[in-house]
Structure 1
């Protein structure tokens, strides 16, 4: 028995709406440390591309930068998540448990504790005057935080057809020539070496899930810490991020576990 015109029309409408929803379903990115610098540039770039953006920060109140971004783009969801607070990470993961995440960007990190260029701040990471109490802060923020976040949101990435974990690292942590030219930064450098090793290992673990894991050297970027320092040749965050987003889009499983710069060029571990 053939369906009447009314029934057929209803079925056809349902099929078309389902297909249209699938086609129009936006991809989702989660960015840590997104209130300034590279993190904000990632959030802004993906929002401008029509992605759903989960922009996290650790401030007690929502930063003005993210308030304005969320007002400009209704696809931006601002969440508080301190990457050194496991309970906050688990809480957000629970809240987002039914949301597939296509790209997870571990951007939040610490380079110095205090104002860059301050002699006392520099001395805290310089042999002979090392501040050993800072070591845990660097390792917790730059190493434990990213792997905990990857573990907490891995099911969201598995739910994506093309899950990717992006980690902002640095060639300052490379142990192969050419070694970073500045001799201080002991804790920062060590934490980036550890991050690269951790994520290299994770790439092997997640190969079975077809999740790409990558480490980026973003290049010399005029971040919040560097805005008052006159280093030559620094890029604006948007320039580095614009290039990285293109590279991220092109990544396949053959790239998983690589350490590359913002243009996609391989970097020495």
Structure 2
């Protein structure tokens, strides 16, 4: 299993946590992508300071203003990425941006349910629609017909907490809207895999593990997986994916997660 090689990648929610970890790993590869696009809400704000520091050292890193709940922002980000990659298109779209609210069956509200679905499920849908022309360009420019992440792929960062068969950690973390939105994201991934196969685009849902991030620790418990281990594991998994894996739900170690 070799290193994942892509010419271009976009990571959403890239200013902290898993998203920032992914950007750092792509930049640190022996053969880094020609373009690493880091999407975040406020590129010039304090929360994006680490991204700004990275961009000052890596000319192939482009910070892209991106609010995943705003169609106009999504459209503008696709235009900006398109200007950079030109005819070669975008190889890899990683839909990582997400929110989680500490609501249970008793405390869930219309407002938080709507906000969570809009960010975690509708955002990845709209992003995939906006970037499909660039993904198709990348697929057309790659030799061979077999699907792979090096050719063109949509990776939706999901969670085993969204598994209907085995809803991990329910007692510790009810997180109702988050779980429901990720179960819906899993179905979106399956639909994308069926609809985008003809365009040469691989689609997969990935569970990164219970990771030591602000979100991962929001229930007051210390998660067992570091960002470093999660990201390294996920990139290893992505490097190994092929035609048979499109439309699947896998974890950061490559194991199948039940729907």
Q: CA deviation at 1:133?
A: 1.3
CA offsets per residue over residues 204-246 of structure 1, 9 Å max, x none?
0011112110001100100123457663552221210011111
Matching residue of 1:155: 133
Structure (1 or 2) with the larger CA radius of gyration: 1
Match of 2:193 among 200, 203, 221: 203
Aligned CA distance change for structure 1 residues 233 and 210 (closer, same or farther; 3 Å) = same
Kept in 2, the 8 Å contact 1:174–1:180? The answer is: no
Kept in 2, the 8 Å contact 1:103–1:165? The answer is: yes
Match of 2:175 among 185, 210, 219: 185
Match of 2:155 among 133, 145, 166: 166
CA offsets per residue over residues 17-45 of structure 1, 9 Å max, x none?
xxxxxxxx971110000000000001111
Q: CA deviation at 1:73?
A: 1.4
Relative to the length of structure 1, the TM-score reads 0.82
1:1-269 map, 5 Å: 27-49=7-29, 50-51=32-33, 52-59=35-42, 61-62=44-45, 63-97=48-82, 99=85, 100-112=89-101, 122=102, 125-160=103-138, 161=142, 162-177=151-166, 180-182=169-171, 184-226=174-216, 231-232=221-222, 234-269=224-259
User: Residue 206 of structure 1: SS of its match in structure 2?
Assistant: helix
Aligned CA distance change for structure 1 residues 233 and 66 (closer, same or farther; 3 Å) = closer
Relative to the length of structure 2, the TM-score reads 0.85
Q: Which ranges in structure 1 are unaligned for 5 or more consecutive residues?
A: 1-24, 113-121
Structure with bigger RCO (C-alpha 8 Å, 6+ apart): 2
Report the count of equivalent residues.
Answer: 234
User: Residue 64 of structure 2: SS of its match in structure 1?
Assistant: strand
Q: Which ranges in structure 2 are unaligned for 5 or more consecutive residues?
A: 143-150
Separation in 1, partners of 2:100, 2:219:
14
Q: CA deviation at 1:132?
A: 2.1
